[in-house]
Structure 1
Amino acid sequence: MGAANVWDAEWEVDEELARTLIDRQFPQLSAKPVKRLGWGWDNTVFLIGDEYMFRFPRRTVAVGPIRTEGKLLPKLEPYMTIPYPKPLFYGEASDEYPAPFLGYAYVPGDFPIGLTEERRALSAEKLAAFLRRLHEFPVQTALECGVQQDHRNLTDIAARKVKLEGFLSKVAEHLSLEESGVIEAYMSRLQTDRVEAVNVLLHGDLHFKNMLVDENGIVSGIIDWGDLNVGHPACDLSAAYSFLPPDARGVFFETYGGANEETKLLARLIAVYIPVLILMQAIDDGNEAIAAEAKSNIMRALTD
């Protein structure tokens, strides 16, 4: 994909640096082993012993969100019906590392990669109930904690469609003729330019790399809250299309309640848009497993 991708790191944190930073600010954790779990666009993640997980921003743009997480995530607990990482350790910038960082209670589980459609369907009601409660959180409280409001202009379908077409051109050679045909047919049918704005508190990045499942494949944790924002619920409801099979969507939306056809249309678009971005990064990283899962998410989202 070339240099200067939006996910490229400004600051690299390896296990040695993470160990140093944690030991100096939280000496009570010094006896626990440090293991890097992975990284996303914005943060590098480390497991500390078996109890804690630390996230270190990789880019300047991630600093504000990590501060917002520290303020807002503790307030979410009464609304949470699925485990999530609660901040426990608030690290500050230093000479060794120029950004704040957070330590959380570790949420165990596996990423939902390669799950059967039958196992995915088992989470429909649980995931819908979780999102219903999350979206009931007071918007004003979220804004007072620094959460941004619709900074991604979620309701502008026309603009998002243009961006998506550009992204698809970059991954076209990695798609089969069948996959390309399904996506092109969907894009040609998508004629709506904008939907009416609705404001709720959003996780903001609800895809398979930010969801955990238990040994039965049922959703058991929601992680990486760095994209917390206020905006259209379709952003989170996209999981009904990317994660759930078609025959589970009815019970999902019945449990969630109140999602109109405009919301579902936008949710499906985001269910394609986000996995395409994940696919781009996976290709750049040479991660075939993530690339394959991203493509399966796209195809699932476009299956009725």
Structure 2
Amino acid sequence: MPRSPAPQRASRLCPPWASGYDGADTGARMTTSTNGDDQNPRYTEAEAAELLRATFPDIGSPALRFCGQGSDFCSYAVDEARILRIGVDDESALRLNWERQLLPILAQKLDIASPAFQHVGETPDGAPFVVYPMIQGEPFDDDIYDGLSSESRDLIAGQFAAYLRVLHGFPVDKAYEYGIRERRADDVCREFRDKAKGMIYPDLSPSELATCEGLFDRYFGEGYDAYTPALIHGDLQPRHVLFDRDRSRIEGIIDYSDIWVGDPDYDLHYLHRQYGDDLLDRLLPRYGHHAPDACRWKSGIFRLCRCMDEIVFGTEDERPDHVADGWRDLRELLAEASSHAA
């Protein structure tokens, strides 16, 4: 399958905060990069089938279903039993290496499944790929959570809490040895604040500008930017959390390609943003969070940076729908923050 080299990853101020986000209450979608394309996969179904036959001579004619393409991988379901993930950029091999070392260790400590690689290889053009058993389940959308009983919601909160305690408790030094990088939330906030001054602030009303700057001032001035670095998933959107309706439980969490060392409250923000106060209120005591009120407040600053990411990079990537979504969510957030401060 000869092809040209993969394009370079788009340079973004906030790559982990922009990883395939689907806003539950706004419909906003945070793009992972210009590589992400669910309509035009880098590797076609025919190419994926050819790769599988070359790797597994006895596979015959597998039934393939395209699962999507993000900034790092193009994925196919194989006979609804296995997953094929093929790297599409120059960091794919690095990210697979993180997963190969980390996931077997996590699997020993979790009752939530994670990908268990059966085969690791390279395509003829040098792209890394993996094959692993499919974890059965459906994306854990917010409407599923909303329809659960209180008892089932408690079970889900307990599962998330146990999962995050294990992940966030993983030795950071070991993560660094694997090549996993640190991305400081406070540095990202500073960069977005600076970027917004030229691209967003001129279009804010005086009251909106004051509210926005007030949020940043409070984040930096009242110690919310301080945290103990932890290993975090970084992309706990619904399609990466697989739910079993029959058992009313989470079966698996997938896609660890955006793991990094950073503020553990970011993972909690992801769940708060998707499933609301109800899940967070159940989760925080089970997780054993030492500063739950601070965690709740910080969710707003992370949301603020997401809005700015949508506007800034939607503008630079010429994606007007992303820009419109970002502005709508930003103005909604600033209105909420202003009313709470009144």
TM-score by length of 1: 0.74
Separation of aligned partners in 2, 1:236 and 1:258: 13
Give 1:117-136 correspondences, 5 Å limit.
Answer: 118-119=146-147, 122=153, 123-136=156-169
- Deviation of 1:206 (Å): 1.7
Report the AA paired with residue 162 of structure 1.
R
Q: 1:258 pairs with 289, 292, 295, which one?
A: 289
- Deviation of 1:226 (Å): 0.2
Separation of aligned partners in 1, 2:210 and 2:237: 22
When Rg is computed on C-alpha atoms for both structures, the one with the higher figure is 2
| Correspondence for 2:302 | 270
- Deviation of 1:93 (Å): 4.1
Report the AA paired with residue 141 of structure 1.
K
Assess, with a 3 A threshold, how the Cα gap between structure 1 residues 54 and 119 changes in structure 2: closer, same or farther.
same
Assess, with a 3 A threshold, how the Cα gap between structure 1 residues 221 and 164 changes in structure 2: closer, same or farther.
farther
Q: 1:103 pairs with 107, 113, 131, which one?
A: 131
State percent identity of aligned pairs: 21
- Deviation of 1:233 (Å): 0.8
- Deviation of 1:254 (Å): 0.3
Separation of aligned partners in 1, 2:279 and 2:83: 32
| Correspondence for 2:252 | 221
Assess, with a 3 A threshold, how the Cα gap between structure 1 residues 141 and 157 changes in structure 2: closer, same or farther.
closer
- Deviation of 1:100 (Å): 0.8
| Correspondence for 1:49 | 79
Separation of aligned partners in 2, 1:165 and 1:30: 54
| Correspondence for 2:94 | 64
Assess, with a 3 A threshold, how the Cα gap between structure 1 residues 278 and 245 changes in structure 2: closer, same or farther.
same
Aligned pair count reads: 282
User: Equivalent residue of 2:186, what SS?
Assistant: coil
* Runs of 5+ unmatched residues, structure 2: 1-8, 12-32
User: Equivalent residue of 2:80, what SS?
Assistant: coil
Separation of aligned partners in 1, 2:194 and 2:63: 42
Q: 1:201 pairs with 214, 227, 231, which one?
A: 231
CA offsets 1:110-131 (integer angstroms, 9 cap, x no match): 2234516634772323212211
- Deviation of 1:252 (Å): 0.8
Check conservation: 1:82, 1:222, Cα contact below 8 A.
Answer: yes
Check conservation: 2:51, 2:123, Cα contact below 8 A.
Answer: no
Stretch moving more, 124-133 or 268-277? 268-277
Separation of aligned partners in 2, 1:78 and 1:57: 26
- Deviation of 1:214 (Å): 2.8
| Correspondence for 1:90 | 120
Give 1:152-231 correspondences, 5 Å limit.
Answer: 152-156=183-187, 158-159=189-190, 161-162=192-193, 165=196, 188-191=214-217, 192-193=219-220, 195-215=225-245, 218-231=249-262
User: Equivalent residue of 2:138, what SS?
Assistant: coil
Q: 1:79 pairs with 98, 109, 114, which one?
A: 109
